[in-house]
């Protein structure tokens, strides 16, 4: 029984370590920039990974990373999305949108 528990614990540990390594490796290299207005500095997300709420006045998102970026109409990165490939940009609707990498 003790041996079986040790084997299961080792397996679970290996799976968790693999998941952590995969998460760390999934971060994009580069940055996503968001334009709001002519009087506001660009909002920059360096080496993004995960879900980000867009600024309230967001107008244009540019993808300067090595991964596709998905833009959502809600603040939780859920529902329908538009994919912005590396080196491209997209207009975004002002309001409570989000993006993920």
Mean pLDDT by 10 residues, the chain (101 residues): 46 41 69 97 98 96 98 95 97 90 97
pLDDT at position 22: 44
pLDDT at position 96: 80
pLDDT at position 44: 98
Q: What are phi and psi of 14, to 5 degrees?
A: -65, -40
H or E, element range at 64: strand 60-65
Alpha carbon distance 3, 43 (integer Å): 53
pLDDT at position 86: 98
Q: Report the DSSP beta bridge partners of residue 71.
A: 82, 99
pLDDT at position 95: 80
pLDDT at position 18: 40
pLDDT at position 1: 53
Is residue 77 within 8 Å of 100, Cβ to Cβ? yes
Q: What are phi and psi of 92, to 5 degrees?
A: -125, 145
């Amino acid at each position: 029984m003790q041996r079986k528990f040790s084997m299961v614990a080792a397996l679970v540990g290996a799976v968790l370590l693999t998941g952590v390594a995969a998460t760390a490796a999934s971060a994009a290299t580069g940055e996503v920039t968001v334009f709001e207005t002519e009087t506001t500095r660009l909002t920059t997300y360096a080496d993004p990974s995960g879900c980000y709420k867009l600024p309230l006045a967001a107008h244009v998102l540019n993808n300067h990373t090595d991964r596709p970026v998905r833009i959502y109409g809600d603040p939780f990165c859920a529902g329908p999305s538009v994919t912005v490939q590396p080196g491209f940009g997209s207009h975004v609707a002002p309001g409570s949108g989000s993006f993920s990498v």
